[in-house]
Amino acid sequence: MPYPLGANLTENGVNFSLFSANATKVILCIFDPISQLEIAQYILTHKTHHIWHGELTGAKDGLLYGYRVFGPYQPELGHRFNHHKLHLDPYARKLVGELQHSHALYGYDVDDASADLSFSQQDNAAFMPKCAVVDIERIKAIPIAPIRRELNHSIIYETHVKGFTKLHPDLPREMCGTFAGLSHPAVVEYLTQLGITAIELLPVHAFFDEPFLVEKKLNNYWGYNTAGFFAPHPQYLASDDIAEFRHMVSKMHQAGVEVILDVVYNHTAEGNHLGPSYHLKGIDNASYYRLMPNEPRFYINDTGCGNTLNVNHPQVLMLIMDSLRYWVEVMGVDGFRFDLASCLGRENYGFDPGSGFFDALMQDPTLCRVKLIVEPWDIGPGGYQLGNYPVVFSEWNDRYRDTMRRFWRGDNGILSEFAKRFHGSSDFFEHNGRGPAASINFITSHDGYTLHDLVSYQAKHNLANNEDNRDGHQENFSCHYGVEGETDSSKINTVRSRQKRNFLATLLLSQGVPMLLSGDEAGHTQQGNNNAYCQDTPDNWFNWRTIDWDLVHFTQELIKLRKHFPLLCHKAFIHQPEALFDNGIAWFNKLGEPMTKVLWSEHHCRTLTVIVTGNLLEAEVDAIPENTQALMLFINADELEQTFHQPNLIHFEHWSCVLHTQSDTQIDVAQTQANLDGKFYLQPRSLMIFHSHFQGVEHDRS
C-alpha cells in the first residue's frame, strides 16, 4: 500500500512506504535488535505515484530498519543519491541508537579535493541510528483529557525538557532530563503552583549535533537541528518506550497544563551542500529541498542553517501535515510554535499569507483547532512579517520585547510605543480581525539573555561558544546599572531586583498572551551568554538549589492577579477614549490628567498612569455595574522618584494597592495614602498596582 507513508503495522506484518520521485531503486534494510548489524535486504518492488512500498509479512512492532536509495549522484543537477548510505525514514516514529560522527556520513568523499562533487563508497550504517516500527494504537490508548483553554487566558512557560529537570533534587536519577522527569509530581507541582497554564517545549523532535559543534566538543542544546519529524528525541526518554511522551502529556493535562511544541519544519540537520546525508538528501534531494534555480548544487538558505525545506512540494507539505497531526492525534499535544515560520509561507515569489501551507493548516479539521503560534520571520528577503500572518495564528512579538526593554531602561521617546505594546499591539494585529491574543508578549526567550542577565550585563559574553563572541544578538537593550555582571553592591542589586519585578509585572498586566522564559521567575543566569544554544552544561540548566523564592512568590501573585481579572485578557481591542464602567482602557499622566497628543510626544517623559476596566465575569454580555472592576497602574521608569496623583474618576474612588515593585514602601502605607490625599510617591524605576470596583450609577447606554 502506498499510504499511509512510513512503517505501519498491518494484519500480516508491516507495510513500508517511502516517497522518492527521482530514485531508481529503494531497498529496505533490516537490522538485528542486539548488534544493530544489517541482517536482511528487501527491494520495494511496488511503485505508485513516486511512492515506493511493500509489505513485510511477519514483521512486528520494534523491528529495526532503514533505507538504501539508488539513483544518480549528480550534485550539479540537484541529485545526491548514494546507496552506500543508510538513510532514516522521514516518517520514523522512533530512533534507536546514537549518531556517531564520521566521514562515512557524507555522501561525498570528504578527503577529495573536488568536495561534494565526488562520490563516497564508505558505508555509514555502523554510525547511524536505526528506525524502529511502532504500534501507534497502543500509544493512543493512553487517556488524554482535553483542556481546550482559550489562548487569551493562557500563560505560557517556555522551557527545555533536559535543562528544566536535569538538576531537580527530588527526581530519581534516571528520570532527570527526560519526559518522565517533566511529568514527575514534584515538577508538575512547581508549574501548577507558579500558575502557568501551558508549557512550550523547545524542540523535542529527534535532532543531531552539527558537525562543527562536535569538532569544538560542544552540543546542540536547544535542538533546532531536526533529524526526525515524528520521533521524540531519544536522549529525552528515560525508558525505551516513546509512550513516555504521551504519559507526560497526560500528566500535564490532569494538572490543567497544556503542552505546546516548538517545531522546526524550515530546515533539517543535513546542512548545506557540504553537510552530511542522513535522510532527505539521499532519498530525493531535488524534491525535499529548495535549491538555487540556476545552480541546484547549492541550497536556498533562508533559514541560516544551510538548507530550506521545499514546503511548496505536495509530498513535503504532506510530510509536515502528517507530522503535525501525529503529534496531536497520537501524542496528544495542544499546539505548536513554528520556528522561522516565514519559510513555511514562502512561495516562489516570496512570503504569502495565502500560501499553500497556511491554507492546508487552516482547512485541516484537526489542526485548525489547536494553538498555532509563529516566529514571524526568517533571514531571507522580506522575511520579517510581524502582523502579516493569517487570522488563526498568534505571533511572537519582538516589538513588544524591545519596547519594554527600552522603556524600563529609561530610553527617551518610548512612551507612546510602550502604550501600543501594553495595549496589545493593535497596530500590527487588528487589521485582519485578530484580537490581543494574536500577540505573544515576551521580555526574554531562549534566544537571548535571561531576565537576570538582562539587568546585569550590557555586553554579551559568548566566549564559551568558541565563536570569538561574534554570535548572538548585537543589540539587547540591556543595562547593568553600574557594574558588568554579578556584584556585591546592595545598591545595584536593589535596582536590578526592582527591574526584574517591573518587567514581570508589565508582561503579566499587558493585553495579549504572556510568555515567561523558564527560570526568569527564579533568577536563572547564563552568565551573560545571549546565545546559549550549545551550552548543555550544569551551569546552564535550571538550578533548583539557588532559586530566588521571593521572586517566585512575586511572580505567583502576578499570575493570580491576571487570572482573577478577565479585564487583563480582553478578547477584542479596546479603543474607548476614557475608562468606561463596562470595558475600557484609559491613559493619564502622573498628575492624573488625560493624555493628549502633546503629552504623548513629551520626549523625556518616562511616567504613565493606566486604568483598565472590565467585567469580573467575562462571559457576561450585559453585565451589571457591580461586577465592573478596575485596575490602576502607576508606572515610573524614571531614574528619579516621582509623585503621582490619582485621576478623578467618578465611578472609581476607593483604590487599594494589590502589588508593587518598590523596595521599601509597604502596601498598608500605600493604601493609607490612597484614602487620604490621592498622592503616591514612587521610587525610581518602580510601579504600583491598585484595584477598585464600580461605585457610581450606571452610564446611560442609549
Q: Provide the annotated active-site residues.
A: 339, 375
Q: What are phi and psi of 360, to 5 degrees?
A: -60, -40
| CA 362 distance to own-chain centroid | 20
- Most distant pair of Cα atoms in the chain: their distance: 88
Tell me, letter by letter, the H, E, C secondary structure of 222-280: CCCCEEEEEEECHHHCCCCCCHHHHHHHHHHHHCCCEEEEEECCCCCCCCCCCCCCCCH
CA distances for 344 relative to 80, 267, 281, 318, 341, angstroms: 24, 10, 19, 13, 5
Determine the 3-state secondary structure of 46 from DSSP: strand
Which one, of 566, 587, 563, lies nearest residue 575 by Cα? 587
Whole-angstrom Cα distance, residue 223 to residue 203?
5
Instruction: State the cell numbers at 574.
Output: 479596546
CA distances for 2 relative to 44, 54, 284, angstroms: 11, 8, 17
Q: In which element (H, E) is residue 199 found?
A: strand 198-201
Whole-angstrom Cα distance, residue 176 to residue 191?
16
Number of neighbours of residue 482 by Cβ within 10 angstroms: 12
569 contacts 561 by C-beta, under 8 angstroms:
no
Whole-angstrom Cα distance, residue 495 to residue 500?
9
| CA 655 distance to own-chain centroid | 38
Instruction: State the cell numbers at 346.
Output: 514562502
**Neighbour-count burial for 672-692, b at 16+ CB within 10 Å, e otherwise:** ebbeeeeebbbbbbbbbbbbb
Whole-angstrom Cα distance, residue 459 to residue 480?
9
Q: In which element (H, E) is residue 66 found?
A: strand 64-70
496 contacts 183 by C-beta, under 8 angstroms:
no
Instruction: Report the DSSP pairing between strands 628-636 and 686-693.
Output: antiparallel
Q: Where are the alpha helices (DSSP H) in 366-414?
A: 398-409
Instruction: State the cell numbers at 525.
Output: 543566569
